[in-house]
Structure 1
Amino acid sequence: MQCPLLYRFRVIDKLPEKPSEAATRGTLVHAVLERLFDNPAVERTADRATALIPGQWDRLLESKPELSELFAEDAGGERLARWLSEAESLVERWFSLEDPTRLEPAERELFVETELESGLRLRGVIDRIDVAPTGEVRIVDYKTGKAPRPEYAEGALFQMKFYALVIWRLKGVVPRRLQLVYLGSGDIMTYDPVVADLERVERKLLALWDAIRQATETGEWRPRPTKLCGWCDHQSVCPEFGGTPPVYPLSARPAESEQDVQGRMDPVHAEAGRPVALEGP
């Protein structure tokens, strides 16, 4: 949880956020790469993939009309054309990293959900799952940005380990490989997890959920300033920018001392307006 207050704004207050060109481009590229595998292997070419972009963009606009606001002031269509061209470049770069004619994904855009013994539910959407003839599982995630510097790689891998944990708890299988495909920089990052990795992730998630539960009950959601604050849609209601958060919509109790709450993890029960699950980053 990069910023506790942002988590509150999104999950509890459900404040609206404006669509961004970068995030929408990522959604579009993901849709194209998913749909490409509908074609026979020999037809999975770069030309076929880029030809899917206009139609997938139309489908996105149909399902989310608010995306049209991104280019509302682009009367001549130059920005939209440039944006679509950037999406094409990302799709084309993928072909230099993987060969779709040799891939037959077992799953694409798969929603997964499992519940831990504590009662905490984990869920997310996995871009692609490949299963080798030997039964080994590879989880693949597409990123339209650039690969992080080595000192930040662990943060990116945490998402993949999250997915691996869900698959392990759901299917009883530890994925053989986790693979991040960075289309923005043309890099591939891989990691081969072991059971100990996934057990550590589970402990971290339980600790995180305990912190979320306490903040939900007390209403104490503090901002955590980072360089990403400059892109946040909620600056007007953030104390770091002189704003005041909206009235907390849930009943709150005074915070307990650390001694009172140490070592306790209650089962999670659904209550109106309260988060009951962790979703993949």
Structure 2
Amino acid sequence: MAKRVESPSSINTFKQCRRKYYYQYIEKLPTIFNIHQVRGIIAHATLEHFFDIDTSKFSEDDYQLRLRETAQKLFLHHWKNHQKELGQLGLHEDQKKFYFEETMLMIMNWVNYFIDDLKNLQRKKNSSLQQAFLELTPLREQEYASSNYSVRGFIDAIKHLDDEVHIIDYKTNSSFDLKDENKLQLAIYSLLYLETHGKLPSKVGIFFLRHKLKLMAVDEQLLELAKKEIMLIHAHTSATEKREDYPKTVNNLCKWSTGQCDFYKTCKPHETKD
């Protein structure tokens, strides 16, 4: 049986619940959008296109205001572009307003940190606003794929800072912890980057949009984590596609106070044991 091309998301799903992996990636049952996914897409699109702006007419007196205004307009544009998806979520208007305002605050929090980075770089290198903006502009939404490992991933931002390379992923969730699933995602990105460019990124991390950036160093242990988990999933999925070989993990991720797993009704985790 041929290896399936995996991703950090599919591997983390496999680790979280093999039955969920079976339903999503083998049986390919449809998944259901929720507000956290939709607003995540909107936030990512806003930050991706933020760096397309023309700063040539920005001055030292007005650039902070203009950067914030630009981010707000971009966010509003992408929010409006996703009205169809937002409308399908069945949210009340006050709920939509809450998520709109909360996500806007995340974007503005990120912009405030970016402005601090701009000011620090200008002071450090005595560079113009435009030069500093260009230097801080990352490569965005880069796809990396490996036929050797049969894995691929999309990296939100790759920053080149002097002789260092930082790989950044954006998260809208409330946590400020680098959980195991985050570390595995970053480990896989590091492995893909190494295979493509022949060198390791200096650091990898998550920009928690409610909080700030959290970075970690890349070492051999992180690479071995990626290799091990990739090997384990391929060993299992290339050997069997039988549902019974993908057992359920019944826990609080099956159903919670505000939602449930996409496959809860199909799986019936609290009713059947198969």
TM-score (norm 1): 0.74
Which gives a bigger RCO, structure 1 or 2 (Cα 8 Å, sep 6+)? 2
CA distance in 1, matches of 2:158, 2:77: 25
User: 95, 112, 124: which is aligned to 2:144?
Assistant: 112
After TM superposition, the structure 1 = structure 2 runs for residues 65-214 of structure 1, keeping only pairs within 5 Å, are 65-71=84-90, 74=92, 77-99=93-115, 101=118, 102=132, 104-116=136-148, 120-134=149-163, 136-149=164-177, 153-184=179-210, 186-214=211-239
Higher mean C-alpha deviation, range 224-233 or range 138-147: 224-233
The structure richer in helix per residue is: 2
Shift of 1:16: 1.5
Shift, 1:202, TM fit: 1.0
Residue 221 in structure 1 maps to residue 243 in structure 2:
no
Rounded to whole Å, the distance in 2 between the matches of 1:224 and 1:244 is 10
One-letter code of the match for 1:91? I
Taking only aligned residues, the RMSD between alpha carbons, in angstroms, comes to 2.4
Find the aligned partners of 1:8 and 1:125 in 2 and give their Cα distance.
Answer: 22
How far 1:29 sits from its partner (Å)?
A: 0.7
Q: Is the 8 A contact 1:236 1:243 kept in 2?
A: no
Partners of 1:8 and 1:207 lie apart in 2 by: 15
Cα drift, residue 212 of structure 1: 2.2
8 Å Cα contact 2:19-2:243 kept in structure 1? no
* Shift of residue 148, structure 1, vs aligned partner: 4.6
* Distance change in 2, residues 1:113/1:79 (3 Å): same
Residue identity matched to 2:157: R
Aligned length: 232
Amino acid at match of 1:237: T
- For structure 1, which runs of at least 5 residues remain unmatched after alignment? 246-281
Identical positions, percent: 22
TM-fit CA distance, 1:165: 0.7
CA distance in 1, matches of 2:268, 2:157: 40
Residue 171 of structure 1: how far off its partner (Å): 1.5
Aligned CA distance change for structure 1 residues 51 and 106 (closer, same or farther; 3 Å): closer
**Secondary structure of 1:170's aligned partner:** helix
- 2:261 maps to which residue? 232
Answer whether contact 1:108 1:126 (CA < 8 A) is retained: yes
How many angstroms does 1:128 deviate by? 0.3
What's 1:56 paired with? 78
**How many angstroms does 1:182 deviate by?**
0.8
| Paired residues of 1:126 and 1:140 also in contact (CA < 8 A) | yes
Instruction: Could you tell me which runs of 5 or more consecutive residues in structure 2 were left unpaired when the two chains were aligned.
Output: 1-14, 119-131
Q: 1:19 aligns with which of 26, 29, 33?
A: 33
Taking the aligned partners of 2:202 and 2:243, their CA distance within structure 1 comes to 41
2:184 alignment partner AA: F
TM-score scaled by length of structure 2: 0.76
- For residues 139-177 of structure 1, what are the alpha-carbon distances to aligned partners after superposition, in whole Å with 9 as ceiling and x for unaligned? 01111112354xx63332111111111111122120001
Counterpart AA for 1:137: V
Corresponding residue SS for 2:253: helix
Shift of 1:199: 3.2
CA distance in 2, matches of 1:105, 1:197: 26
Rounded to whole Å, the distance in 1 between the matches of 2:138 and 2:262 is 37
